[in-house]
Structure 1
């Protein structure tokens, strides 16, 4: 079995800045990484996590079941899964997190939104009915997530400074990123410009399809890039003293045929 992926991911997560992160790329891998982030935060640091997703989670992906065989049920209790089906419901439930600090003994210190594009676009990829355009809808949702995290950070600093700040992680797959033609022409998605204002760190997943990677067998090899204005010199110091602020930090993720994952710094 590969090295302890939870400890590796815990170290990687600790190197990220205290601002929001947008994960872009393959949907299946995205969800596994978001769940891994939630489990790591709950089990390693004792954080309360709120996980928003449209699709109910019946069980952990095989990749996580293989990597976390001794996961404590108590750790999962620190993760609250919520299933808003529309952007209106998502906004309402995020807004309610302000009120939860008066009724719950523990304050969330990690907010995760799985497949944000599903909320910004209606069923089948149609435009959301909440606003006239997707860009204003994206700004509305992102601003509320940002403001909620700031509010919860202030509460955490009073209650338990060790769990502050409250972070936000969301996954997003652009419509123009789907399909070979889109990749060849590198069509920009206007929603990225909006989201980047509220998510200063971007985590990009890019599958390695080179001959060396495919020759390794049926395992999947992914490049994981951290970039954006939220990446600081301190964040990148682990790899090289020569790295400057804003330069991407790169990892390699290997998913083995029987499920386990392994992270390594590139």
Structure 2
């Protein structure tokens, strides 16, 4: 869902000191995106995407994450002063007129069960979600929870979970029609177990077969809190590949995040 990510980057640029109305273009065919990079930065990007989708596009969002959210990006706190980490301690909590639902499955089995139940009436009332967010796929896929070595079952779990996410999004898209013309989309984050000099992560290789676009976060060489953000795998409405979009993410000492077009 690269239109959501692009909207996030445009919304939280250095020019947006406060709330700014931005034009929203129709979503491209790309309906799933994988954010790859630092876990803390990826989580912040996913939180910004969830809030932006709810507030700017008015869609319902379901947000799955393994660990309790302890802090919010500073730019999000300033944008929504009433939103606090304490508000997110409940397993199910809604804000922005009940637009976002947070859920905390602790194992891949719990996550699979909850994703598989997204079509049930309890989750589609008053309307089905239009955005599924999964924070930290690596934490669910790696049974040991660490970054050392590969689990033989990791690739099969990656394929099973990815296929279920895509299938659930496709089914929810049918439920959304004719109320919405845009499809239900999926954004997830993943921290690779290998460094840039090593071969491709086996699990990431599987995920790339299911997620149509990738958002890669790379720390700028020699700089503490400057990141390069690349959006790749994007296709236009004629299903032709487009050039990789590049942004720069600047994080100030107090934690404020802002994006700039490169």
- Report TM bin, short chain: 0.7 to 0.9
Pick one of 207, 228, 232 that aligns with 2:219: 207
Residues 192-231 of structure 1 deviation map (CA, whole Å, 9 limit, x = unaligned)? 2211111010000011124xxx4xxx7x211110112xx1
SS of the aligned residue for 1:108 comes to coil
| CA radius of gyration, larger in | 1
Pick one of 205, 215, 220 that aligns with 1:193: 205
Distance of 2:22 and 2:138 partners within structure 1: 27
SS of the aligned residue for 1:97 comes to coil
Distance of 1:232 and 1:5 partners within structure 2: 31
Pick one of 83, 91, 100 that aligns with 2:121: 100
Q: CA deviation at 1:186?
A: 2.9
More off after superposition, 24-33 vs 76-85: 76-85
Aligned to 1:249: 245
Distance of 1:115 and 1:259 partners within structure 2: 21
Q: Do the aligned residues in 2 keep the contact of 1:111 with 1:167 (CA within 8 Å)?
A: yes
Q: CA deviation at 1:259?
A: 2.8
Q: Do the aligned residues in 1 keep the contact of 2:29 with 2:236 (CA within 8 Å)?
A: no
Q: Do the aligned residues in 1 keep the contact of 2:19 with 2:79 (CA within 8 Å)?
A: no
Distance of 1:95 and 1:5 partners within structure 2: 40
Q: Do the aligned residues in 2 keep the contact of 1:107 with 1:155 (CA within 8 Å)?
A: yes
Q: CA deviation at 1:189?
A: 0.9
Q: Which runs of 5+ in 2 are unaligned?
A: 1-12, 85-93
1:120 aligns with 2:144: no
TM-score by length of 1: 0.78
Q: Do the aligned residues in 2 keep the contact of 1:31 with 1:114 (CA within 8 Å)?
A: yes
Q: Do the aligned residues in 2 keep the contact of 1:66 with 1:260 (CA within 8 Å)?
A: no
Residues 86-145 of structure 1 deviation map (CA, whole Å, 9 limit, x = unaligned)? 111000000100113786112100000000011101243389xxx961111100000000
Aligned to 1:28: 40
Q: Do the aligned residues in 2 keep the contact of 1:114 with 1:170 (CA within 8 Å)?
A: yes
Q: Do the aligned residues in 2 keep the contact of 1:20 with 1:169 (CA within 8 Å)?
A: yes
1:263 aligns with 2:235: no
RMSD: 3.2
SS of the aligned residue for 1:176 comes to coil
1:137 aligns with 2:157: yes
